[in-house]
Amino acid sequence: MTGIPVLLKDNIDVLGMPTTAGSLALEHSYPAADAPLVTALRRAGAVVLGKVNLTELANFLTVGMPGGYSSLGGQVLNPYDVTQTPSGSSSGSAVAVAAGFAPLSVGSETSGSILGPACANSVVGLKPTVGLVPRTGLVPIAASQDTAGPLARTVADVAALLTVLATRDERDPATAANPLVDHDFTVDLDPQALRGRRIGVVLGSAPAGDNRTLWDNATQAMRDLGATLVPVELDTRSGIEDGSSVLTYEFRRDLDTYLSGLPDDAPCRSLADLIGFNEAHSAATLKFGQTRALAAQAKDHAPGSADTRKYLADRAQDLAESKDRLDSLLQSETLAALLFAGYPGASLGARAGYPSLALPAGYRAADRRPFSITLLGPAWSEPLLLALGYAFERATQLRRAPSVVNPALSRGRRCSTADETREIG
């Protein structure tokens, strides 16, 4: 990766740059060191070009904040259609790649925050198994589900970036179980990978209208490549929708740990400090409120408290309704992966800590807006997911640059898009 520029979501520590998570309260918050994933990028010869905007605090400040909005950075725009959401929270990471600002970027996901922007902005995005990429030096939401992950224009580029990012870190115990350290994910890319594979398609997940046409084309392409598509039943409701307290409970715990470890001159040392700053500067910081932050601050973390008991019960239930359910389905039907239109399986995979891969799958005839599919697999199945995605991508070649899909948005730009699909080796 020598000389390849990479952009980072602004919740990732880079020495000499503020790590703001889009918050005005953290505008001047400088870390003491690079995050381990940044160290790995530098070691591989990548050029850390800079930071990109995100939904503030990875969309855990409040309910109702638009995807890609932060009080510090403003609103990220979708390069395919500025009237449409860029999705979040890794909005800038996806948009930067889609618009050609850099060939590679790193985002993060707790539940849908890589997959959503990848789908909305027609790029490839991988949400890894929790523990594949170290989280030290990332502004967190919840250690149970947080992970960083790569975004790029092609599966091969994602595989090359993931090869660098997949390391162990003694400060992140989740990485101790990582069996893919030093694995070269680019060697897994096989144009015949779909042949003979059984792929589960969740009943009731087929979209309508133009999206249905694109979905039918995508599934037929997989059949043509030798895959057997198996209809399956699966409840994909999110933990938050079911009343889970896991993210809210862990947010204060994990954010306080991150903030308290910053240098002594850091502007905030706790979630309480951040909430206080926002209240003192509410005209600039609280356009959409801070309901999630307040709910997290109110949790009682004392051992044996009602909140702690509910958290432990909810985490056990989350695992039972995600990991156990997915393992049972994948094994009973002998499935290589599950296939979705868009990313409705994001929450289920996130609660299980399992990987998912978003792939561009065309553009709607009526308005040229992007359509994508996602593949979800069991823990540590990134080599297979990337192989399956590569086979689909190579056979279909569906992704187009924003300047091709909606040229009016980029009219007047002087830069060439001739290398839009060039792979990084």
Which residues touch 11 (CB under 8 Å, ≥6 apart)? 19, 21, 22, 54, 58, 108, 138, 139
Does residue 205 have an active-site annotation? no
What's the CA gap between 134 and 311, in Å, rounded? Answer: 24
Three-state SS at 284: helix
HSE value, Cβ hemisphere, 13 Å, CA-based, for 135: 27
| Bond into 356 cis (ω within 30) | no
Tell me whether residue 414 is exposed, middle or buried, using C-beta atoms within 10 angstroms of its C-beta: 0 to 12, 13 to 18, 19 or more: exposed
Three-state SS at 200: strand
Does residue 113 have an active-site annotation? yes
Catalytic residue among 29, 71, 89, 108: 89
Q: How many CB atoms lie within 10 A of CB 126?
A: 33
What's the CA gap between 118 and 126, in Å, rounded? Answer: 9
HSE value, Cβ hemisphere, 13 Å, CA-based, for 326: 26
HSE value, Cβ hemisphere, 13 Å, CA-based, for 188: 23
Does residue 89 have an active-site annotation? yes
Catalytic residue among 71, 87, 113, 381: 113
Q: Structure tokens of 105? A: 């970027």
Nearest to 129 by CA among 390, 386, 393: 386
In order of 148, 298, 336, 372, 393, the CA distances from 375 in angstroms are: 18, 37, 9, 10, 13
Q: Report the Cα–Cα distance between both ends of the chain, in Å, rounded.
A: 8
Active-site residue numbers? 9, 89, 113
